Structure 1
Amino acid sequence: MRSAAIAFLLPPKAGLVAGITGETGQPGVVDVALKPVGHRAGDPTSNNSYLGHVMAVDHGGPGARALAEAVVGGLAVRYREDVA
């Protein structure tokens, strides 16, 4: 059995993105797309507000969803007002 999944990074709040950090270069992660610095994030009301996504595969089992969600969960969004 194989699996594939995508997980979306929703903004924690509205604001001007100063950066998105976190480890994404893991085995099984096949695509990562993140909004650039300067992107104006809207309120996190739906997946239409997403700041990026992580796509993952598991060639040996059903673990792709857990991997994609773990990688997204490890991402941190910084906003312009958070920067000193």
Structure 2
Amino acid sequence: MDIDALRDNRRRVVGMRETLKKITHGTALHVYIAKDAEARVIEDIATQSQNRSIPIDYVDSMDELGRLCGIEVGAACAALIPERA
């Protein structure tokens, strides 16, 4: 798991909408999903990632994923993207 990249807000997006947007636009390099996220929230993320052969890592909890991303709240999912200028 690339923890440094997850903390860099130029190389990641956090949350269902942003993650799904990057997956569908083909810019997501890797997806992270919290194991305790509601199925209805992450179902489309997991399906779209698998359909596009984007690697998925599962994190134990939303709180842990939020901490890994350097935010103070939990996160259901996040994605690594190419670095933005």
> Taking structure 2 as the reference length, what is the TM-score of the superposition?
0.32
Quick check: which has more Rg, 1 or 2? 1
Higher strand share: 1
Higher helix share: 2
